Chains A and B, each alone.
Chain A
């Protein structure tokens, strides 16, 4: 899954504020939910970027912004060098061919009134010029075969399939237009653990076969680790740490990342007691009224005055191996040779 070449997706200072309004006749804005607040990253060809964070940190809003399902308040998303956030009509349709979505819930993401063949073939109905009409049925069967389903089941309906099979149908739909990027918004969190691995492995195989790049959004750190080349950790609409998966999991610098990692359940009873367990106090603050300075400071055991006054930018700090947004990152004395 080695990432090569130039970025296929460039995200710069992406901001999405949802206005909070009051009043019946004259609606005035009384505030804003800062769902995504200044997110930047690149995604290279063939690379998988994992995005982790707890509920409400802006992961799904980020996915919707990348897919141009929401218009950002500011910032830019460039897909294959073309700006998607301000594209409209035919241009937007063109850019969308290159970035597709696999959704979380396989039970609600497939239209129950359409056959599987129609669902997987719909991309060709919308983008008529991709494939001549006569070859569509054959291609749909190929796609079903690729994701490990029986092509003869194309005339069945979604409710006749299991959750894992439905998620494969969703993946086949996402592959239809041969996009370079697939945004996976919690693609396995609605599935049984035994099925999760099958779907994750399928995604890995497809990546190698088609040279796909993934944005893999999840709250399950072990799943993300399995598939990702790089990982970004989000907290309250901001990326607080970004690095290669070995860095994030082996040398977490941001206190929030360390707390998250310490919460991963360990199946091996040996050594469970010796493990450092960081339990965060309280709930995440409201994204409508985030804390000043560092957003994590209200739950951070390292917080000092400077954390309330200055917002730490996401950058590689002296002695650190990767980017983090903390004034007092955890530093590891002997950097591992790569």
Chain B
């Protein structure tokens, strides 16, 4: 990039030609512009990102179209033969069978959908609710910010298992949607705080002051100037949280508070297999392993995204 601008007397044609030579038309197409595109370029070169993205892609496909991975439908009770219960891995049952004689591999594959739904749903809800409230509170300040901040402090004081117990007992039945809602209600204060803090930093930036000087409306300031510059931490935390929510769903299901049988989730499978772990470890270990790998993949992705979005690390 040429540091000095051309002399002002120069006729436009030469000026343009000089710029083209100095900084290069080709350079523009080769080098991506904008921090998001820079981040994307950066991400693609990180092995951490590649590994986690591939793992996440596999889990997402598993959740969307489980029949691609197995021809057995675990929701069809006819597939379970009680006489075959607690068998070890074999050609017919890759991961063995569980207490009811159902195929553990098929159940593990089908369990991905509910886990991923809860993870994605909760992440979207918390990012939207916490993000928007944090944006408004950080931008407006004053009493609105004070009230919302006190409310989040109350939520932080509630132990999450107790809170989830309370909320789920209101709904009586645990389904994917009630678990999602319960987790979102408990988790939005975290995204709120992160968004609020980064909005407060962005709010005082010179370019926001410049836009105010032009007469920009509050909506334009928030969504055109502040939000694009303040959203990176929220994206990072949401990516990491997605894994955490999947683990939380498994935890709630394990405790019997979450999704109920006959729905299949990894947490439920672990809970069911626990009692007979000494006789058959497979029904517990395989869903637990997939759960751990999925959670780890999202946390690794979050790490990679954070590094890519932080210009200081580049």
Could you say which residues of chain A place their CB within 8 Å of the CB of B16? 150, 152
Partner of A126, one of B5, B28, B205, B220: B220
Q: B2 contacts which chain A residues (CB < 8 A)?
A: 162
- Whether a CB of chain A sits under 8 angstroms from the CB of B61 is no
**Residues in B whose Cβ lies below 8 Å from that of A149:** 5
Say if the beta carbon of B6 comes within 8 Å of chain A: yes
Q: What string of 1s and 0s marks CB contacts (under 8 Å) between A218-250 and chain B?
A: 000000000000000000000000000000000
Query: Does B5 contact A165, Cβ atoms closer than 8 Å?
Result: yes
Question: What's the Cα separation between A119 and B19 when bound, in Å?
Answer: 21
Interface size class of B (residues with CB under 8 A): 20 to 34
B274 within 8 A of A: no
Complex interface residues of chain A between 120 and 158 (CB less than 8 A to chain B): 122-123, 125-127, 145, 148-150, 152-153, 155-157
| Cα(A145)–Cα(B249), bound, Å | 59
Asked if B213 and A148 sit within 8 Å, CB to CB, the answer is no
Measured in the bound complex, the distance between the Cα atoms of B211 and A260 in whole Å is: 34
- Is the CB–CB distance between B214 and A122 below 8 Å? yes
Chain B, 83-122, CB within 8 A of any chain A CB? none
A160 and B24 CA atoms in complex are apart in Å by 12
Q: Does A100 contact B (CB under 8 A)?
A: yes
A328 nearest CB across to chain B (Å) = 41
Instruction: Select one of A123, A145, A162, A195 contacting B12, CB under 8 A.
Output: A145
Q: Are A126 and B1 in contact (CB-based, < 8 A)?
A: no
The reply to whether B213 and A100 contact each other, CB–CB distance below 8 Å, is: yes
A110 beta carbon closer than 8 Å to chain B? yes
Q: Does A93 contact B (CB under 8 A)?
A: yes
A105 within 8 A of B: yes
User: What's the Cα separation between A108 and B225 when bound, in Å?
Assistant: 12
| A108 surroundings in chain B (CB, below 8 A) | 205-207
Q: Judge whether A92 is part of the interface by a CB distance below 8 angstroms.
A: yes
Contacts of B71 in A (CB 8 A): none
Which residues of A have CB within 8 Å of B207? 108-112
| A152 and B262 alpha carbons, distance in the complex (Å) | 63
Q: Tell me the nearest residue of chain A to B31, going by C-beta.
A: A160
Interface string of B205-226 (1 = CB under 8 A from A): 1110111111111001000110
What is the CB-to-nearest-CB distance from B278 to chain A, in angstroms, rounded to a whole number?
57
How many angstroms between the C-alpha atoms of A145 and B12 in the bound complex? 8
Residues of B within 8 A of A109 (CB): 206-207, 209-210
- In angstroms, Cα B7 to Cα A167, docked, is 16
How far, in angstroms, from A163 to B224 measured CA to CA in the complex? 23
B228 at the interface (CB under 8 A from A): yes
Flag if A101 contacts B5 (CB, 8 Å). no
B4 proximal to A (CB < 8 A) = yes
B229 at the interface (CB under 8 A from A): yes
Q: In the complex, which residues of chain B have a beta carbon less than 8 angstroms from the beta carbon of A210?
A: none
List chain B residues, Cβ under 8 A from A123.
214
Contacts beyond the supplied A96-B214, A100-B213, A162-B4: 19 A-B pairs with Cβ under 8 Å: A92-B215, A93-B215, A103-B206, A103-B209, A109-B207, A109-B210, A111-B225, A111-B228, A122-B216, A123-B214, A126-B217, A127-B214, A145-B12, A148-B5, A150-B19, A161-B1, A163-B3, A165-B5, A168-B5
Q: Please give me the 10 A-B residue pairs with the lowest Cβ-Cβ distance, nearest first.
A: A109-B206, A93-B215, A108-B206, A162-B3, A113-B228, A150-B19, A111-B207, A96-B215, A101-B213, A157-B33
18 contacts between A and B (CB under 8 A): A67-B213, A69-B212, A69-B213, A108-B206, A113-B36, A122-B211, A122-B214, A122-B216, A145-B12, A150-B19, A160-B1, A162-B2, A163-B3, A165-B5, A173-B214, A177-B214, A194-B4, A198-B4
**Which positions in A face B, CB cutoff 8 Å?**
67, 69, 92-93, 96-97, 100-101, 103-105, 108-115, 122-123, 125-127, 145, 148-150, 152-153, 155-157, 160-165, 168, 170, 173, 177, 194-195, 198, 201-202, 205
